[in-house]
Chains A and B, each alone.
Chain A
Amino acid sequence: MNPLTAMFIGFAIVWGGLFLYVLRLHRLGREIERKLGREA
């Protein structure tokens, strides 16, 4: 594999992972806030 392609795949995995982590936290946060609003 071309080293530049390997580097690109590695970077994409790191960025993709971090981005999914952000989205997951965002979704979980909204869920808790919705529960809080519903149960108030």
Chain B
Amino acid sequence: MAATATGRATAASRGFDWREVLIWIGAALGFSGLYMAILFAPEEATMSHAQRIFYVHVPAAWVGFLAFGVVFLSSVAFLWTRQRRFDLAAHASTEIGVVFTTVAIASGAVWGKSAWGTWWTWDPRLTTTFMLWFIYAVSLMVRAYGGPSSQSARFAAVLGIVGFLDIPLIHLSVLWWRSLHPLPVVVRAEGFGSGLPPEMLWALLVNVAAFTLLYVALFSLRRAQMTAQDALSAQREQQRRHTAGPGAGMREGSR
């Protein structure tokens, strides 16, 4: 693992890093998305400009779901194989998923204040989304307080799998229960995006693409960083043992 990370370090020191390219493409798409959300998309008849929060809220919620989907798959793979790389992928994606779900909840609260006159209400969609955020925040706490032990990785993996089961519930909550939250306008039985005029759909799709690219960049950066940190710790441990001398392990073991 140390050799791989060292190889990456050499590649980074050469100057070219594909993740940098991804970040700049994401930033360019983000600016386009900002322009489309503010100036290109038409003003909505009932909600007026407050509806434009939708162009941040929906992409952030989508990326949160995507991130937790990656956590789910990585957690299953980790419990199956016990390979550290899957645990690192789940950890990295959990962090990013929590950030984006926080953005979705906060932007939804701003919209809610304008539409419903309150920042928060215990509506089925809001409550199930809060549950999702809470489960993954707990998973991060388990990792933070449990340290790098295999037990905390196992607990976090179980939480990663259980938390994902909430996502279909979030999507269906507005259909199953009486909810204040608007009904789906993109993923519908009548057809993809059939609930939106084309200009609004395009503005949304550009923002979704920008947020998704940002997720890919963040995920690869964080995962590479964690892998390098792991390799660095292993390297330091090896050096410490080497400095302590050949009998150090035996002395430590006899205590």
A contact residues, range:
20 to 34
**1/0 contact string of B3-37 vs chain A (CB within 8 Å):** 00110111011000001100100110010001001
A residues in contact with B19, CB < 8 Å: 26
A residues in contact with B235, CB < 8 Å: 36, 39-40
B231 lies within 8 A of chain A by Cβ: yes
Closest to A25 in B: B221
A residues in contact with B10, CB < 8 Å: 37
> Would B49 and A25 count as touching, CB distance under 8 A?
no
Question: B20, B50, B224: which has the most chain A beta carbons within 10 Å?
Answer: B224
> Would B222 and A36 count as touching, CB distance under 8 A?
no
**1/0 contact string of B47-68 vs chain A (CB within 8 Å):** 0111011011000100000000
> Would B56 and A22 count as touching, CB distance under 8 A?
no
Binding site for B on A (CB under 8 A): 3-4, 7-8, 10-12, 14-15, 18-19, 21-23, 25-26, 28-30, 32-37, 39-40
Binding site for A on B (CB under 8 A): 2, 5-6, 8-10, 12-13, 19-20, 23, 26-27, 30, 34, 37-38, 48-50, 52-53, 55-56, 60, 99, 103, 107, 110, 214, 217-218, 221-222, 224-225, 228-229, 231-232, 235-236, 239
